[in-house]
Structure 1
Amino acid sequence: MSETLAWRGPITRWQGDKAVYHLLTITGETAEAITMHERLRRLEFGGRRGFGSVKVIATIGGTHWKTSVFPSKSGEWWLLVGKKVLRAEDLAAGDEAEVLLELL
């Protein structure tokens, strides 16, 4: 059975070496729940996914997509938000977004 979590925060623009990325930084109890899910999954299946990521189905507004959230060294999790989602939901860097994450 999957768990669904909600998070609300600002969309951040990050300039990488080769591209610009938009992401939501997930902290607090929501981040702790994702961390616990990843640890339990690792115990059950005996290994980590690439970069310690967790598969999710993310929903912002009416847009759903299958992706992963990625851990930071400080205990936060990052959700990349693609251009298609930003356009479909009329969002830009600095806008607040509410996301539902179904942990897979």
Structure 2
Amino acid sequence: MELEFSGEIWFWRGPTPHHFVTVPEDQAADLAAISRQVTYGWGMIPVTARIGATTWTTSLFPKDGGYIVPIKAVVQRAEELDVGDVVSIRLTVDT
């Protein structure tokens, strides 16, 4: 499954601070429909993600009935991204 969407980068200040983009509701529903076939536990869904010219592997985190995409620091540096930036993300669900 491949998804493409735009979203704003936000910062979570928890015990392990990190940057994320929230998957829109429609795409989150599509992911939820296949999650049992692809999750490796705790609802995490492995994906290959791309923003601009940067591609990386990660896992979508379940949150509030949807999913969020962690944006690694190396991606932020490579694409010159910061909190509040709206980015276009392409996800390929790893099976």
Q: Deviations over 1:25-44 (max 9, x none)?
A: 112111011111213x06xx
Q: Does structure 2 retain, via aligned residues, the 8 Å contact 1:22–1:93?
A: yes
The residue number in structure 2 matching 1:36 is 33
The 5 A counterparts of 1:2-41 are: 3-17=1-15, 19-39=16-36, 41=37
Q: Does 1:76 align with 2:73?
A: no
The count of aligned residue pairs is: 94
TM-score (norm 2): 0.91
Q: Does 1:97 align with 2:87?
A: yes
State the 1:52 CA deviation: 0.9
Structure 1 distance, partners of 2:56, 2:62, is 19
The CA RMSD over aligned residues, in Å, is 1.3
The runs of 4+ residues in structure 1 deviating greater than 2 Å are none
Q: Does structure 2 retain, via aligned residues, the 8 Å contact 1:26–1:77?
A: yes
For 2:87, give the aligned amino acid.
A
State the 1:70 CA deviation: 1.2
State the 1:20 CA deviation: 2.2
Q: Structure 2: which 5+ residue stretches go unaligned? A: none
For 2:9, give the aligned amino acid.
I
State the 1:78 CA deviation: 1.0
Q: Structure 1: which 5+ residue stretches go unaligned? A: 43-47
Q: Does 1:87 align with 2:84?
A: no
State the 1:102 CA deviation: 0.2
